[in-house]
């Protein structure tokens, strides 16, 4: 592959994913397996998390570098107290055009109204199965999918634009692809299928556990007529399809079978203030240390620019069974999805 397409100077910095907390109320096999993240796991103390004021300051700096889109994630971001205050602050930043939040949906019945009132309009909600026993096993808490579905309905009634994300793992939940499609097709809710990825080093990933986009398509095309949709913007990760006469689309996130490293426009900020250039990175640049040592906005701009311009990561292009197993990677609870 021609390395020139990875010239970072030619690629815009458009998106910032911010993990606001490193813990979750699920213990799912995908990013926080209960064997590792048990009830006694030592998460970060509050003092080590970026404050809302620090996050808002960084968002303002990133906006000067071209960032237009912010996504709040975790862990589970709704576990961070008074999250609506951060959303209100971000909405005051010039240049930010879109703010979204990724959640497992468990606490939406308690917080969705406050989030909406603060200006949030888009939600990505994780749901990996409709079968009650299977979903309870996958989330590690015995939580029924009906509870998440009720919260999705509630959020939709409030006016949120919703996408549902389903991580598909072979031998676990691939039989749920069709039921999930059948359920959401009439709700004007976009369903996105995500190939099982080797995020972190704790989820037991292997190629044998991946259900590829092509394999999912083969299932779906037996029932639906799927028409590819043109990319909405440069760097869009999901590959979308329209199906039959339904308004909603389905999407595929194909980090394993069809990588998109060459068009990546994202940086990721962990809950403890480290800046990562890739979901599969091992190390991050410590922005919290700069903030708390009194760095000026210009010094932060220069540091972030250097990180972006010098990035060479293309993990999904270079992934092998060996690197997936042996290369150290930051856990998704810290870096966010």
Is 1 within the bounds of a domain? no
Q: Provide the pLDDT for residue 160.
A: 98
Binding residues for GTP: 17, 71, 102, 163, 266-268
Alpha-carbon distance of 209 to 171, in angstroms, equals: 7
Q: Provide the pLDDT for residue 241.
A: 95
Closest-CA residue to 75 (of 48, 43, 111): 43
Alpha-carbon distance of 332 to 337, in angstroms, equals: 6
C-alpha angle 162-260-222 in degrees, rounded to nearest 5: 60
Residue 322 has pLDDT above 50, yes or no: no
The parent domain of residue 115 ranges over 8-335
Binding residues for [4Fe-4S] cluster: 24, 28, 31, 261, 264, 278
Structure tokens at 309: 């311009």
Q: Provide the pLDDT for residue 96.
A: 97
Alpha-carbon distance of 133 to 229, in angstroms, equals: 35
Binding residues for S-adenosyl-L-methionine: 30, 75, 126, 197
Q: How many domains does the chain have?
A: 1
Q: How far is CA 263 from CA 9, 22, 232, 238, in A?
A: 12, 27, 13, 12
The answer to whether 137 and 26 have CB atoms below 8 angstroms apart is no
Read off the pLDDT of residues 188-232 as tens digits, 9 standing for 90 and up.
Answer: 899 999 999 876 555 566 889 999 999 999 999 999 999 999 999
Alpha-carbon distance of 212 to 168, in angstroms, equals: 9
Q: Provide the pLDDT for residue 30.
A: 58
Binding residues: 17, 24, 28, 30-31, 71, 75, 102, 126, 163, 197, 261, 264, 266-268, 278
Angle between helices 213-220 and 177-184 (to 10 degrees): 60
Residues 6+ apart with CB under 8 A from 91: 99, 118, 119
Alpha-carbon distance of 142 to 132, in angstroms, equals: 8
Is 212 within the bounds of a domain? yes
Read off the pLDDT of residues 56-72 as tens digits, 9 standing for 90 and up.
Answer: 999 999 999 999 999 99
Q: Provide the pLDDT for residue 150.
A: 98
Is 56 within the bounds of a domain? yes
Read off the pLDDT of residues 142-178 as tens digits, 9 standing for 90 and up.
Answer: 999 999 999 999 999 999 999 999 999 999 999 999 9
Peptide bond into 75 cis (omega under 30): yes
Q: Is the dihedral of CA 124, 125, 128, 130 positive or negative?
A: negative
Structure tokens at 25: 């109320």
Q: Provide the pLDDT for residue 9.
A: 42
Please report where in the chains the tokens 């979308």 appear, as a residue: 240
Beta strands in 169-312 (DSSP E): 190-195, 226-228, 239-243, 249-253, 266-269, 274-276, 285-286
Closest-CA residue to 331 (of 37, 47, 104, 123): 37
pTM across the whole model? 0.89
Give backbone dihedrals phi and psi of 214, rounded to 5 degrees, phi first.
-65, -40
Is 186 within the bounds of a domain? yes
The answer to whether 255 and 315 have CB atoms below 8 angstroms apart is no
3-state DSSP helix/strand/coil percent for the chain, to nearest 5? 35, 20, 45
Q: Provide the pLDDT for residue 31.
A: 60
Q: What is the DSSP string of 60-107?
A: HHHHHTT--EEEEESS-GGGSTTHHHHHHHHHTSTT--EEEEEE-STT
The answer to whether 168 and 218 have CB atoms below 8 angstroms apart is no
Alpha-carbon distance of 86 to 187, in angstroms, equals: 30
Residue 26: give its domain's CATH number: 3.20.20.70
Is 3 within the bounds of a domain? no
274 DSSP β-pair partners = 286
Structure tokens at 225: 């007529």
Read off the pLDDT of residues 11-23 as tens digits, 9 standing for 90 and up.
Answer: 799 999 999 999 8
Is 2 within the bounds of a domain? no
């Amino acid at each position: 592959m021609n390395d020139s397409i990875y010239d970072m100077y030619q690629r815009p910095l458009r998106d910032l994913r911010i993990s606001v907390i490193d813990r979750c109320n699920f213990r799912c096999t995908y990013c926080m397996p209960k064997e590792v993240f048990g009830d006694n796991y030592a998460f970060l103390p509050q003092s080590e998390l970026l404050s809302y004021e620090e996050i808002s300051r960084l968002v303002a700096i990133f906006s000067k570098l071209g960032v237009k889109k912010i996504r709040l994630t975790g862990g589970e971001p709704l576990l961070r107290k008074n999250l609506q205050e951060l959303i209100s602050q971000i909405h005051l930043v010039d240049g930010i055009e879109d703010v979204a939040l990724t959640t497992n949906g468990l606490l939406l019945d308690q917080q969705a109204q406050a989030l909406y009132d603060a200006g949030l309009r888009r939600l990505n909600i994780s749901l990996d199965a409709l079968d009650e026993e299977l979903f309870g096993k996958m989330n590690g808490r015995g939580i029924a999918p009906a509870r998440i579905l009720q919260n999705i309905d509630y959020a939709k009634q409030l006016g949120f634009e919703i996408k549902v994300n389903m991580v598909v793992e072979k031998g676990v939940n691939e039989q749920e692809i069709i039921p999930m499609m059948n359920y959401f097709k009439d709700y004007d809710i976009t369903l996105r299928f995500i190939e099982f990825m080797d995020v972190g080093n704790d989820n037991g990933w292997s190629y044998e556990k991946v259900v590829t986009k092509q394999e999912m398509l083969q299932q779906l095309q037996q029932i639906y007529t799927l028409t590819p949709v043109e990319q909405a913007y440069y760097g869009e990760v999901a590959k979308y399809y329209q199906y039959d006469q339904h308004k909603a689309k389905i999407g595929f996130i194909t980090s394993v079978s069809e990588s998109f490293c060459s068009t990546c426009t994202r940086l990721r900020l962990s809950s403890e203030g480290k800046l990562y250039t890739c979901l599969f990175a091992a190390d991050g640049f410590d922005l919290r240390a700069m903030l708390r040592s009194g760095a000026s906005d210009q010094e932060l701009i220069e540091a972030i620019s250097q990180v972006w311009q010098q990035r060479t990561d293309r993990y999904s292009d270079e992934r092998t069974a060996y690197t997936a197993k042996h290369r150290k990677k930051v856990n998704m609870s810290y870096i966010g999805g």
